[in-house]
Every structure is written in C-alpha cells, then in structure tokens.
Structure 1
C-alpha cells in the first residue's frame, strides 16, 4: 500500500512497471481484494 488513511479506511496503490510480471500480478490483485473485503476503499 502506497498511501493509507486508516481513519477513513481508504488506500491508494501505485503500481510501477515491475508489477506487471506474472506472479506479481496475482499478489497485487490479492492484497486490495483483502482490504476491500474488510471494508476499505482502494484506488489503484
């Protein structure tokens, strides 16, 4: 997570070029999914 506002349950994720590699894509998709499932708003 690149920026978070825990009191607002909001997060921003910035994904650079290395995030578009096969395994990394799966990891990057899983983290925001967990945050959203726990009530956070995530912008990527």
Structure 2
C-alpha cells in the first residue's frame, strides 16, 4: 500500500468521522429537543 492510497484512506476516514459526528449530533439534539417538549 503506497503513501497515496494511505493518504486517501486517512482522508476518507476523517470525512466518515465528521459525517458520523454531524449525524450523531443532529440526532442527539433532536432527541434532546423531543425530550424537552415531552417534559412540557
């Protein structure tokens, strides 16, 4: 595996982590919002 492939793999992994984090954060905020509305 060359440095180029390794670099692309690291980049794809970072994008994956960012997308997962963004999705997780959005879902968490939505669930939290629903919980707050439910408590009202």
Greater Cα radius of gyration, structure 1 or 2: 2
**Relative contact order (C-alpha < 8 Å, sep 6+): which is higher?**
1
Common topology (TM > 0.5): no
Choose between structure 1 and 2: higher strand proportion: 1
Choose between structure 1 and 2: higher helix proportion: 2
TM-score, structure 1 length as denominator?
Answer: 0.40
